[in-house]
Amino acid sequence: MRAKQLLVTLMALAFGRRRSRDPEQKAREEESPQGRIVPAGEPDRGAELLVVGLLALATLFAAGFIVVYGEMGPTKTLNTLLGVCIAGALACIAAALAVIARRLIVTEEIEEEYPEESPEEQREIVQLVHDSGSRFTRRKLLVGAAATAGSALGLAGLTPVLSLGPLWDTVPLEATPWYRGRRLVDPGGHPMLASDIEEETFYTAFPQGADPENIGSSLVVIRLAPSALKLPHGRETWAPYGILAFSRICTHAGCAIELYRKPRFQPVEPKPALVCPCHYSTFDPATGATVVYGPAGRPLPQLPVMIDPDGHLAAAGDFSGRVGPAWWGVRAKPS
Amino acid sequence: MSRPAQSPSRRRARPLGAGRLLAMAIALVPVGAGVALAASQNGIVRPTYEPPKPTVALGEELFNANCASCHGIGGTGIEHPRATAGDISGAGPSLKGVGAMAADFYLRNGFMPLENIHTQPGRRRVLFTRKEIAALTAYVAALGNGPGVPHPQPGGGDISEGFKAFTEDCAGCHQSVARGGYVTGARVPPLQKLGPTEIAEAVRIGPYLMPRFTSHQISDPQLNSIIRYVQWTNRPDNRGGWSIGNLGPIPEGLIAWLAAIVLGALCLALGKRFSA
Amino acid sequence: MSDRIADPVRFIDERTAAAPAIKKALRYLFPDHWSFLLGEIALYAFIVLIATGTYLALFFEPSVAKTVYHGSYAPLRGREMSEAYKSVLEISLTYKAGLLIRQTHHWAADVFMASIVLHLMRVFFTGAFRKPRELTYLIGLLLLFTSLLEGYLGYSLVDDLLSGIGLAIGYGVLLSLPFVGGPLGILIFGSTFPGKGVFESRMYIAHVFLIPALLATLIGLHLALVAARHHTQFRRDRRHTQRRLVGVPMFPGQAPRSLALLLIVAAVLFLLGGLVQINPIWQWGPFEPWLATNGAQPDWYLGWLIGALRLMPSFDVVVGHYTLIPNPFWGGVAFPLLVLFVLGAFPWIERRLTGDRSSHNLLDRPRDAPNRTAFGVAFLTWVFLVFVFGASDRVYVLFGLSYETLLTAFRVAIWVVPALAFLVVRRLCLQLQHADRIEERREEAEQEAEREHAERVRRREPVL
């Protein structure tokens, strides 16, 4: 209702100020030697009113936005209303402009030449450069010297960027927090008892006292029947009682291996596998996490585990390979 | 609905070497030709007389007619697939010691009976009546000493702890807002339709390819928290507007393209067309 | 005598002598066709991005220092998280209008990329990239690829679970660069992923300053080059030629239309920001390198890369103990670079193949260049199929089509379908051309008959 009243007032204002024809405009036309630049068109009062109405509506929407903002609170999330208000204001002004473009402005199509090439100026520029350099005799030497100086300065300017990090350092890529005797702890920081590790499930483990966010820290620990293991040669002692530990970071693109599928009834269901949820690289834990599906190019690094005298799980050494996504030289054996 | 007698012992930590004790029930539907029982339309074979109350005896009759072709007579399991009636091979795990929990979970959600032993069990139409399920559950529970149906109390759970635990143990397969997903070889179901009991059963049993979590890994209070979180995902906080399924960027991309095309169409209104 | 228009004009001209330039700008001609407005949508989305992004930067905390959340959102209360993630939680859940601005910013980014692609398609299929506009086209491509990086950094800043996974994949792709990958990864992240906290501020300065400044410069260059050579036009009637441009002047004809489009774009984006939820980071939770969520997806404009990463068969190129080319290189680096190269080189490839070295101010209709159109559709189909495969895991969940089957099918389809598309589209274009010629001849014959008729009437001969 209020909106309607406001609209009427605005209309009255519009009518009140309307003049039959702008006398100044008339005067200018008479003065100008060429006459009009933009062709004349018929006035369209209906369109003018429509524009005023739309602008009034936009004003209301904008005011509504301020009101809604004021009404918002911790328990009142008026996101939708807020969005509708601001979008409404924008859309109304857009509509007003569209009406102006279609009905209140003469949209004439005019013609014009495309810009041409300028062969004369091209020639002059070339000549300008040649003429200016006529006193130089050892051009190649000068150009070479200038290029050298410029490159040196450029390099010098870039040098401080090196402080951002080591320029050529692959040591962090090879480092892991694991060493023989370091205990495995669960996400709560408690050492893990070997006797708690069961089959058909998976555990998250970290090195005791190390930064869990380090890419070489997190492990996925599972247990298989020792008879089912077909680990590569040299890993016979790496999985006591069938307890296997692998890096939790996929060797393809570095996502977390948080998927462990295990069959409830082996004869007819897929065999146990560790799966990455990003590109579905699938690793067979029984064979040392070799790739059985998906894009990964190498197995998950396996951490040899041992059971310390207290019955806790501990690392028996470092991983079988480099942790994380592959890079140039990733396969070199850890020294 | 009368629940079957619950096995008193709740399983605690197992000794080393404890293998898969819980096993999945796989049954074959269209069997029973020649058995002096009446086969109903959906393939379930029922005794001609059903007692008014679920009994172990009724469970045994139903089991022998509908489940034994895969799980073996007396639920001993059939390790290697073998041809049964109708040239369909039957194989299934032993049910001794799986307890009422497993039978309740698989039957009440329609995971069993399975049409083909090679398909993924999933929520289907429940073919047995409530009374029959109760009878079968009682029968399976009586086969050995197994866990009973759990009674979680999600109301006492802590949603923040549940969200954290869910992200650590479940979201890899089930997606952060429990919308389901994919694991090589299987489809991971969304969890919105599950009740607290089913969630608790699934966590403890580990149906099909899902890992199973003992109370050592996920304690009962933690389980309550996880269930509370999963139930929260039925109606998560979508204060940003239409949730488009809480699936992340895929539906968002569709909407963005829709918006770009709408804007392109508005250009049609502002500019000339060929026919104009 | 004072005049509200004349006075400021005189004031400016007396001090800048800019009146001739201003007059020229006001009478700059815009050929009238709806498809020429697609690029403007991208420009206006960019403006919305700058405006909303500036607001967000006032509240965002670019730090991965650990803190604990004690805010109003129950499922995260007591969780340890980074300052960055917490500040975006506060923007989304606490500050009034914060969520609207954040969602609008994200929608604007998604729509910005989509409109660039639509604009690129228009430019490609009409041959607008030809001489003398190759540079404009190349800068446009550069804008598209720089925007991909800008968008990626934008959502990666938040440090929620989804963005952290995306960043891990970005790190994996970076490491896969032959020879330099490993050390470059260490240089950029400051350490192995997720870095030692220095990377967040680097991403931040890149996202809010370096890349936007680069984008703004490129947009300026793009527009300056367009203006220098003027717009291309379709040949609607005999007035439109290679040498004469027919168009609506900037003022008064074009200005209100363009302004209306700006406001419409802003309105649609704010409407989306208010009505449709985008990237609800509170539902994903904070990122830790050992956490995952199933089917993690990038924003749509990087979907083609996840598709390519998933489609690649499993292998690293290895010589002895040296991995020459790790697997993610193919999908994450080689594939997008190949697409960029083919698109970028296309003007020169086409010139070589057709031998057409002349300047073009008149546009082709797609049917006028059957080979180009067919190739464009085939190429687009190729990229699109790879893109679609990126969502195949969700297709499996929703529609039950097995992922493994889809993988096999797509590995074949991405080669077969584009080839078929090429043949079909080329045939279609030739048919349309043929139909056009018949129509032309019919019109000519009709005109001829009319002239004859008029002639006979004039000579008072008996009309047949």
- The pairs formed by A97-101 with CB atoms below 8 angstroms and a separation of 24 or more are A97/C256, A97/C257, A97/C259, A97/C260, A97/C263, A98/B269, A98/B270, A98/C256, A98/C257, A98/C260, A99/A47, A99/A50, A99/A51, A99/A54, A100/A47, A100/A51, A100/C256, A101/B270, A101/C253, A101/C256, A101/C257, A101/C260
Final residue belonging to a domain, choices B213, B232, B251: B232
Average pLDDT over residues A202-226: 95
Q: Which domain holds residue B199?
A: 154-232
| pLDDT, mean of residues C120-142 | 96
Residues of A in Cβ contact (< 8 Å) with B15: 195
Residue B178 and residue B208 in one domain: yes
Residues B132 and B161 in one domain: no
CATH of the domain at B205: 1.10.760.10
Say yes or no to pLDDT of A33 above 70. Answer: no
Whole-number Å distance between alpha carbons of A192 and A306: 12
Residues with Cβ within 8 Å of residue A329, at least 6 apart in sequence: A170, C182, C321, C322, C323
* pTM across the whole model: 0.90
Q: Would you state the pLDDT for residue C173?
A: 96
User: Does pLDDT of B23 surpass 90?
Assistant: no
Distance from CA of A63 to the nearest CA of B (A): 22
What's residue B75's pLDDT? 87
Amino acid letter for position A83: G
Instruction: Look at residues A164, A167, A248 and name the one whose alpha carbon lies nearest to residue A204.
Output: A248
In the structure encoding, which two tokens stand for residue B2, read together?
């009368």
Query: CB contact, 8 Å: A198 with chain B?
Result: yes
**Is pLDDT at B35 greater than 50 in this prediction?**
no
Which residues from B are below 8 Å from C279, CB to CB?
Answer: 248-249, 252
Distance CA B17, CA C191 (A): 41
Q: What is the pLDDT of residue B56?
A: 86
| Mean pLDDT in residue range C326-336 | 95
Confirm or reject contact between A294 and chain B (CB < 8 A).
yes
Confidence check: pLDDT of B103 > 60: yes
Which amino acid type is present at position A184? L
Query: Would residue B65 count as lying in a domain?
Result: yes
Domains and CATH numbers, chain C: 27-360 (1.20.810.10), 365-464 (no CATH)
Task: Using a CB–CB cutoff of 8 Å, tell me whether A84 touches chain C.
Answer: yes
Please judge whether C41 and B263 are an interchain contact, meaning their C-beta atoms are less than 8 angstroms apart. yes
Tell me the residue length of chain A: 335
Q: How far is B274 from chain A (nearest CA, A)?
A: 16
Average pLDDT over residues C149-161: 96
Q: What is the pLDDT of residue C464?
A: 57
Task: Say if the Cβ atoms of B19 and A80 lie within 8 Å.
Answer: no
- B243-265 tens-digit pLDDT: 999 999 999 999 999 999 999 99
| Chains adjacent to A (≥3 CB pairs closer than 8 angstroms) | B, C
B with C: how many residue pairs have Cβ under 8 Å apart?
192
pLDDT band for C351, please (50, 70, 90 cuts). Answer: very high
Q: What is the pLDDT of residue B88?
A: 62
Position C383 scores a pLDDT of 97
Angle at the Cα of A64 (from A61 to A70), degrees rounded to 5?
155
A-chain residue closest to C198, CA distance:
A164
Residue C281 has pLDDT above 50, yes or no: yes
B210 and B188 in a single domain? The answer is yes
A170 to C186: CB separation less than 8 angstroms, yes or no: yes
In the stretch 222-261 of chain B, residues with CB closer than 8 A to chain A read: 239-241
Pairwise CB contact (< 8 Å): B183 & A196: no
pLDDT higher than 80, residue A314: yes
Q: Which of A116-125, C163-172, C448-457 has the lowest mean pLDDT?
A: C448-457
pLDDT(C61) > 80: yes
pLDDT for position B115: 80
pLDDT of A161 > 60? The answer is yes
C221 and C178 Cβ atoms separated by less than 8 Å: no
Say what percent of chain B tops pLDDT 90: 51
Q: Does A245 score more than 50 pLDDT?
A: yes
Q: Are residues B76 and B123 in the same domain?
A: yes
Least CB-CB distance to C244: which of A111, A295, A325? Answer: A111
In chain A, how long is the greatest CA-to-CA distance? 109
Dist. CA A286–CA A225, nearest whole Å: 9
**Confidence band of B39 (pLDDT split at 50, 70, 90):** low
Amino acid identity, position B79: E
User: CB–CB of B102/B150 below 8 Å?
Assistant: no
Q: CB under 8 Å to C267, separation ≥6 — which residues?
A: A87, A88, A90, A91, A94
Identify the three-state secondary structure at position A177. Answer: coil
Cβ contact C74:C240 at 8 Å: no
What whole-number distance in Å separates Cα of residue A307 and Cα of residue A313? Answer: 5
pLDDT at A162 exceeding the cut of 90: no
Domain count of chain B? 2
Q: What is the ipTM of this complex?
A: 0.94
* Shared-domain flag, residues B106 and B139: yes
Provide mean pLDDT across the span B197-217. Answer: 93
Q: Which of B160, B172, B241 sits opposite C276 (nearest CB)?
A: B241
Enumerate the domain spans of chain A: 2-33+41-104, 174-315
Q: Which residues pair with A259 in a beta bridge?
A: A275
**B69 inside domain:** yes
- Tell whether B28 is covered by a domain: no
CA distance A198 to B16: 7
Of C194, C321, C331, the CB nearest to A332: C321
The pLDDT value given to residue C1:
52
Residue B52, pLDDT above cutoff 80: no
C289/A249 Cβ within 8 A = yes
The matching CATH number, chosen from 3.40.50.720, 2.102.10.10, 1.10.150.120, 3.40.50.360, for A174-315 is 2.102.10.10
Give me the residue from C290, C295, C316 closest to A326, CB to CB.
C316
Determine the average pLDDT of the residues in A232-259: 95
Residue A174's pLDDT is what?
A: 86
Q: pLDDT-based confidence at C224, cuts 50/70/90?
A: very high
Interface list for A 168-187 with C (CB within 8 A): 168-170, 172-173, 175
Q: Check if A263 contacts B (Cβ < 8 Å).
A: yes
Query: What gap in Å lies between CA B176 and CA A38, rounded to an integer?
Result: 62
Q: How far apart are CA C176 and CA C150, in angstroms?
A: 21
Q: Looking at the structure, do residues B185 and B223 belong to the same domain, yes or no?
A: yes
Q: Which of B176, B188, B263 sits opposite C285 (nearest CB)?
A: B176
Q: What CATH number is attached to the domain comprising B123?
A: 1.10.760
* CB < 8 Å to B270, chain C: 34, 37, 257, 260-261
Q: Judge if B199 and B109 occupy the same domain.
A: no
Q: Please check whether residues B49 and B126 belong to one and the same domain.
A: yes
What is the average per-residue pLDDT within A202-227? 95
| DSSP H/E element including A102 | none
pLDDT of residue A41: 82
Distance from CA of B10 to the nearest CA of A (A): 17
